[in-house]
Structure 1
Amino acid sequence: MEKPYWEGKEYSYFSHKKCEFFPCHKNADPDDFNCLFCYCPLYALGEKCGGNFRYTEKGIKDCTNCMLPHKRKNYGYVTGKYQELADMMKRAKESISK
């Protein structure tokens, strides 16, 4: 089985161990913590992000327990969702234009 094009590439993984908040999630594995997606690009997808989140009583999406964007192996999953994000933004723009 051929590995994904991004696997083993420097651009797909960045660990900022000198960050004051590293790692920013409790129980995270510091040796496999990808800081590349420090602010998750999938947040806007709501329930379609695929991560381990919950909604607070006030309706705010809480991703405290989500490691999806922070694991080295999930780079392809995250970037694979970019078209879905682009489509969502296009639909939002179109609905505003009407």
Structure 2
Amino acid sequence: MAGEYWEGKEYSFFSHKECEFFPCHKGADPQDFNCLFCYCPLYALGDKCGGNFKYTEKGLKDCTGCLLPHKRRNYGYVTGKYQELAKLMDEIRSVKANDKQE
């Protein structure tokens, strides 16, 4: 069975071992830690991101326990969510446009 189109490609994995914070999540495997999505692009999806997060008492999303975007095998999952992000952005633009018309 053939792998995903991105498997084994350099652009799908970057590990910045010289970073002062590497690895930035406790319990992470340094050999498999992908820094490519240092700031998770799925944060904006809220509870639909698929990661292991929790909400703080103040209602902020806390992703310190999440390794989803940092595992080599999850590149396809993260990039596969881009259509959902685009849809979310379209919805936000639509709401803003409607607010301006009122």
TM-fit CA distance, 1:81: 0.2
Gaps of 5+ in 2: none
Aligned-CA RMSD value: 0.4
Partner of 1:94: 94
Partner of 2:45: 45
**TM-score w.r.t. length of structure 1:** 0.99
Partner of 1:58: 58
TM-fit CA distance, 1:75: 0.1
What is the letter of the counterpart of residue 53 of structure 1? F
Q: Does 1:7 align with 2:41?
A: no
How many angstroms apart in 2 are the aligned matches of 1:55 and 1:14? Answer: 28
Task: Give structure 1 regions of 4+ aligned residues with deviation exceeding 3 angstroms.
Answer: none
Gaps of 5+ in 1: none
For 1:64, what is the secondary structure of its paired residue? coil
TM-fit CA distance, 1:73: 0.1
- 1:17-32 correspondence to structure 2 within 5 Å: 17-32=17-32
What is the letter of the counterpart of residue 38 of structure 2? C
Q: Max radius of gyration: which structure?
A: 2
How many residues are paired up? 98
